[in-house]
Amino acid sequence: MLDRKDVKVNFDLEKMDESIQGTALQTKSKGPKSKKFYIESYGCAMNFNDSEIVASVLDTMDYGNTQKIEEADLILVNTCSIREKAEDTIRKRLKYYQLIKQKNPHVKVGVLGCMAERLKSTLLEEEKIVDLVAGPDAYRDLPSLIPAIEGGEKGVNVFLSRVETYDDILPTRLDDNGISSFISIMRGCDNMCTFCVVPFTRGRERSREPYSILAEAEDLFRKGYRDVTLLGQNVDSYNWVNPETKEEMTFAQLLVLVAGVHPDLRVRFSTSHPKDITDEVLYAIRDHENICKYIHLPLQAGNSRILELMNRTYDQEWYLNKVRRIYEIIPDCAISSDMMTGFCSETEEEHKDTLYVMEQAKYSMAYMFAYSERPGTPAQKRLTDDVPEEVKKRRLNEVIRLQNQLSYAHNQNDIGKVFKVLIEGNSKRSENDFKGRTSQNKVVNFPKKEGLGKGDYTHVRILSGTSASLRGEIV
């Protein structure tokens, strides 16, 4: 039998309620607006969540949100730098905004997020139509930057903070389903994976104050949300130290705390770095029905030499042991991953190790990429991007093909089983079907039943599955 280690929460729950009430989790809306902003987001969930913080900050000004770009007085684009292609996409969007600006010269364009941080004021020189450049830690400064650009100046703030977590800002939810939402619990990243631009665009790691996280989760639950994902580049290194008592809160403790908001609030998290996910977290998942049985555990590459070049700080054996440990403690856990092909000097044999680990880990799903060298990263400075583009692509296709098979097998394995499903709305294909999600983060479509609707839980028996989704019936 596994020895059970309870996750202890060193916080007084009674006091916590008082503390939440005291948390200034509101931004003061300035009431009716005379101007409109439009915001477009690219990149990871954190960036999408940041756009909601930006929307909240702009709500304190004379700006209301619009979903129609042609109505906007201010166009904002929250950008990603993770791969070259991500930046290319944004440059294309800027060309499009230029056309809009030609028609309406009063329109201002602001670039936010990681590309703003990476390129700083050079972006203003390269892209003449850009009026505003604001990095991920500068959004509180928008109320002073925006009036300046309205007056014809250019505005830049790319200061990276060691403390900013926007913990007192309640994000304004933008085009979501009203059921699932994100809560950022930390910002930045202190890992130095050699391929990665994030430590440069988002700065040092810092954890958000837990009471404000809880207050946000409670607020979401009250508004009808039933599924929250705690976000960070590396959530398992969450560590908040109470400045007064010096008490520490770990990620496992935070998870348990958020799960305590309500048994009907599902809690997820992303992303876990394999080196940091602890047994404590695994026990928390096992012991709390509403902490989802799903872990995103990016592998990047299956070969130990490549992992070392990437500075991932684990090797193949260590990763596989972690996967075994997860399945041992949580047998019905689904694991997903990120994989990258053609990293510097990767040989054909080493690439096969990625395929090997994928098969061993039996991922339910994965995000897969060809390596894209990023300026300023340790890999760009010290290693040679020497795997030809067509080889990277071919290896990527092999990885994708294998993952399709693994996803299909994972879903076939669910046939006949009954899952508790959270209804998210109508299925894409038919008004007569609901779309829901299992704890394992799989989409299930099933015929509707009277009396049930969005935000309800129901039990569904799985009848069939493709590599992308499941089909079932209510039991």
340 lies in the binding site for ligand SAH (CB under 6 A): yes
Convert residues 85-124 into a mask of x (bound to ligand SF4 by CB under 6 A) and - (unbound). Answer: ----------------------------------------
What is the bridge-based pairing of β-strands 74-79 and 108-113? Answer: parallel
Nearest partner of 75 among 66, 83, 84, judged by Cα: 66
Q: What's the angle, vertex CA 399, arms to CA 398 and CA 401, rounded to 5?
A: 65
Burial of 3 (0-12, 13-18, 19+ CB in 10 A): exposed
307 lies in the binding site for ligand SF4 (CB under 6 A): no
Residue tagged 């909240």 (tokens): 56
Helix (H, G, I), strand (E, B) or coil at 302: coil
Segment near ligand SF4 (CB under 6 A), from 128-136, 193-201, 328-336, 403-411? 193-201
Segment near ligand F3S (CB under 6 A), from 2-10, 39-47, 155-163, 356-364? 39-47
193 lies in the binding site for ligand SF4 (CB under 6 A): yes
Q: How far is CA 129 from CA 94, 132, 154, 470, in A?
A: 8, 9, 10, 46
Q: Say how far residue 319 (Cα) sits from the centre of its chain.
A: 22
Dihedral of the alpha carbons of 77, 78, 82, 85, in degrees to the nearest 10:
-20
Q: What's the angle, vertex CA 265, arms to CA 261 and CA 266, rounded to 5?
A: 125
The neighbouring-strand residues paired with 38 are: 75
From the list ligand F3S, ligand SAH, ligand SF4, none, which binds 374 (C-beta under 5 to 8 Å, kind-based)?
Answer: ligand SAH
Convert residues 162-201 into a mask of x (bound to ligand SAH by CB under 6 A) and - (unbound). Answer: ---------------------------------xx-x---
Residue tagged 């990277």 (tokens): 392
Nearer to ligand SAH, 86 or 443 (CB): 86
303 lies in the binding site for ligand SAH (CB under 6 A): no
From the list ligand SF4, ligand F3S, ligand SAH, none, which binds 199 (C-beta under 5 to 8 Å, kind-based)?
Answer: ligand SF4
- AA letter at 25: L
For CA atoms 47, 49, 55, 59, the dihedral sign is: negative
Encoding tokens for residue 239?
């560590």
Nearer to ligand F3S, 84 or 247 (CB): 84
300 lies in the binding site for ligand SAH (CB under 6 A): yes
E-strand stretches of 144-202: 155-157, 180-184, 186-187
Q: 10 Å Cβ neighbour count for 468?
A: 12
Q: 10 Å Cβ neighbour count for 229?
A: 22
Convert residues 220-239 into a mask of x (bound to ligand SF4 by CB under 6 A) and - (unbound). Answer: -------------xx-----
Footprint of ligand SF4 on 133-192 (CB under 6 A): 189, 191
Footprint of ligand SAH on 108-137 (CB under 6 A): none
338 lies in the binding site for ligand SAH (CB under 6 A): yes
Nearer to ligand SAH, 184 or 445 (CB): 184
Q: How far is CA 383 from CA 34, 47, 50, 140, in A?
A: 52, 29, 33, 38
From the list ligand SAH, ligand F3S, ligand SF4, none, which binds 372 (C-beta under 5 to 8 Å, kind-based)?
Answer: ligand SAH
Convert residues 209-248 into a mask of x (bound to ligand SAH by CB under 6 A) and - (unbound). Answer: ------------------------xx--------------
Convert residues 53-72 into a mask of x (bound to ligand SF4 by CB under 6 A) and - (unbound). Answer: --------------------
Which residues contact ligand SF4 by CB under 6 A? 189, 191, 193, 196, 198-199, 233-234, 273
Which residues in this chain contact ligand SAH in the complex, by CB under 6 A? 82-83, 195-196, 198, 233-234, 271, 273, 298, 300, 338, 340, 369, 371-372, 374
